[in-house]
Chains A and B, each alone.
Chain A
Amino acid sequence: MENGGDGGGVPENANEHCPGTQSETAGKAEACAGCPNQQICATAPKGPDPDLLAIIERMNTVKHKILVLSGKGGVGKSTFSAQLSFALAEMDYQVGLLDIDICGPSIPKMLGLEGQGIHQSNLGWQPVYVESNLGVMSIGFMLPNQDDAVIWRGPRKNGLIKQFLKDVDWGDIDYLVVDAPPGTSDEHISIVQYLQIAGIDGAIIVTTPQQVSLIDVRKEINFCKKVGVPVLGVVENMSGLRQTISGLRFVKPSESGDIDATEWALNYIKDNAPELLSVVACSEIFDSSKGGAEKMCHEMGVPFLGKVPLIHSFARQLKREDHASLMRSVLQVLQLLKR
């Protein structure tokens, strides 16, 4: 059920027996008579896309390219991309973070870069630097008003992604982390098409534990297999909620509604059951009784990188020790990449 892309294939509205848009006889064959694309095919230049050459040249100074994907939205992919970039930068690598989520660019907010603009130099577009070794690019920096919706169809989004690869002066960097939107559509087909020629080291897929998310992760894994992008591994996010007892709110349900009982409860605990204050309460929000992402990775033959719990205030500000072991696994994988 896949379309190989509009590079050289047969467009949706083409006549039967279309020779292909990149063919020598495109627009001129008998089968082309009456086709709505005939004029375009007859006059358009054939051969390799010159922009690809520009992309190859830019990517010459980029050692490793990693895609961060998800099947579903809202699983924490952008949070993960941002934290991964921070972790790599803290290890003194030169890092670029490219946000290709055109409709919902979260990266500027997550790196504290809201309101920044893009500067151009004769070398190209300058990434916005959050650290001297961590540069960021996103459509978020190009919107005059943050509330503006970016209501673009595929071709326009593809055009911008191409520009991000062709015109941005990343300089000499060790890792380019590409944060994609959820799904397997235009942005994904394009980033692979444009970047593969320069080499994509692999993709990390972020999910939450439920079956409904895992179904879409399997699709993402199959997408990667189909387009020849190695799957570096899967991260299971929001893997249970952890909180200290003293961080909980307590309420007494009643007919007229909830009555806050937090102060009472904490004093009661301090007086009668003080040992509770040293335990951590865990809730499994998303049912992982079927094995979660780890089991799915085993079935699909891809590495499982680890779990990240939901921690109260996780979304506000990540504490490194909360996700240290996951990051260690991820960084190990990234450091083992060839070259």
Chain B
Amino acid sequence: MDLQVGLLDIDICGPSIPKMLGLEGQDIHQSNLGWSPVYVESNLGVMSIGFMLPNPDDAVIWRGPRKNGLIKQFLKDVDWGEIDYLVVDAPPGTSDEHISIVQYLQATGIDGAIIVTTPQQVSLIDVRKEISFCKKVGVPVLGVVENMSGLRQPLSDLRFVKPSEAGETDATEWALNYIKEKAPELLSLVTCSEVFDSSKGGAEKMCDEMKVPFLGKVPMDPQLCKAAEEGRSCFDDQKCSASAPALKSIVKKLTKID
């Protein structure tokens, strides 16, 4: 959408952002203007502790105060330049990183928070806590996204196994031939599986109860996972047919809110 974007990863113990943007192995350069973000596009700069680890397998075993110190530096010393959006990716929870980012950033204004969840009750309990956290510290809740909201796949993408006493045998080839012969109309169908039980209404119902906007559902999409693993945008090609439209519609909603 031609906006200038900064992506700040404040998950100090588990920084996933470099991998997901295909920036593993990159370093941070310093200039007299400060630390330069690592640019994945000319208008998308990224900052993460992931760029500062000599070995990506190194555990970052820091207590709160040290993590807070780094978050402060990310806000104080990084030369983001003129950008339209700074997206801050936080770790799960409501602890040091969250208290600090709010403390440090609120003076200059935080537009709001998006909360990501999966449909199960166990996740929703913690989302309610995140919503309470936002209300308590005065950060507007822009909305909730329900991720991993079911799995959609064409029947031809499935693998099939035949369980038996001796174990399982792969039956994929047999099944697909069998279907082509006896039930070819099945091949034009898409299968849907609900992976996480959302019989109690999922995130949408919870948003209604907590009076926060529900931004939408994103289905589980193996192609989206692949894109994340390979550091690609899911909007680059048509592969993420299950998830990209859902994500796009959420982004549209958000940019209208602003």
The answer on a CB contact under 8 Å between B133 and A226 is: no
Count how many pairs of residues, one from A and one from B, have CB atoms less than 8 Å apart in the complex: 246
Say yes or no: A226 contacts B61, CB within 8 Å: yes
In the complex with contacts A184-B60, A212-B228, A265-B189, A148-B129 CB distance below 8 A: yes
Cα(A6)–Cα(B155), bound, Å: 56
A48 to B179, alpha carbons, bound, how many Å?
A: 71
Decide yes or no: A149 and B129 within 8 Å by CB, A269-B186, A281-B160 being known contacts: yes
- List residues of chain A with CB within 8 A of the CB of B16: 72, 212, 215-216
List B contacts of A211 (CB < 8 A).
Answer: 19, 229
A177-218 interface with B by 8 A CB criterion: 181-186, 188-189, 210-212, 215-216, 218
Asked whether A186 and B178 contact (CB < 8 A) given A211-B229, A269-B183, the answer is no
Flag whether A78 is at the interface (Cβ < 8 A).
Answer: yes
A256 interfacial contact with B, CB 8 Å: no
Q: Is A222 an interface residue (CB 8 A)?
A: yes
Q: How far is the CB of A268 from chain B (nearest CB, A)?
A: 6
Q: Which residues of chain B from 79 to 124 have a CB within 8 Å of any chain A CB?
A: 91-96, 98-99, 118, 120-123
Instruction: From the candidates B56, B61, B122, B129, name the one contacting A3 in the complex (CB within 8 A).
Output: B61
Q: Given the known A-B contacts A103-B93, A149-B130, A273-B182, are A282 and B63 also in contact in the complex, defined by CB atoms under 8 Å? A: no
A291 within 8 Å of B by Cβ?
A: no
Interface size on A, residues (CB 8 A): 84
Contacts of A79 in B (CB 8 A): 122
Residues in B neighbouring A73, C-beta threshold 8 A: 91-93
Q: Which of B61, B120, B155 counts the most chain A CB atoms within 10 A?
A: B61
Give A287 Cβ to nearest chain B Cβ, in Å: 5
From B2-10, B38-46, B192-200, the one touching the partner chain is: B192-200
Segment of A50-58, A167-175, A246-254 in the binding face:
A246-254
Q: Is A147 part of the contact surface with B, judged by Cβ < 8 Å?
A: yes
In the assembled complex, B211 has its CB within 8 A of some CB on chain A? no
Q: In the complex, which residue of chain A has the Cβ closest to the Cβ of B241? A: A253
Q: Which of A28-36, A90-98, A311-319 contacts B (4 or more CB under 8 A)?
A: A311-319
CA gap between A251 and B57 in the complex, in Å: 43
Q: Which segment, of B29-37, B218-226, B246-254, faces chain A?
A: B218-226
CA distance A151 to B96 in the complex (A): 8
Contact (A273, B161) CB under 8 Å given A148-B129, A151-B133: no
B-chain residues with CB within 8 Å of residue A250 when the two chains form the complex: 155, 186, 189-192
B66 within 8 A of A: yes
Closest B residue to A209 using CB positions: B225
Most central of B12, B56, B65 by chain A CB within 10 Å: B65
With both chains docked as a complex, state the minimum distance between the C-beta of A322 and any C-beta of chain B, in angstroms.
12
In addition to A73-B92, A181-B92, 8 A-B residue pairs with Cβ atoms within 8 Å of each other are: A103-B92, A104-B93, A151-B95, A154-B96, A183-B91, A212-B20, A268-B186, A313-B197
Identify 11 residue pairs between A and B in the complex whose beta-carbon atoms are under 8 Å apart, listed by A's number: A2-B61, A151-B137, A153-B99, A154-B63, A154-B96, A215-B56, A241-B151, A265-B189, A279-B160, A282-B159, A316-B197
Cβ-closest 7 pairs across A and B: A154-B64, A103-B93, A183-B13, A73-B92, A149-B133, A223-B59, A273-B183
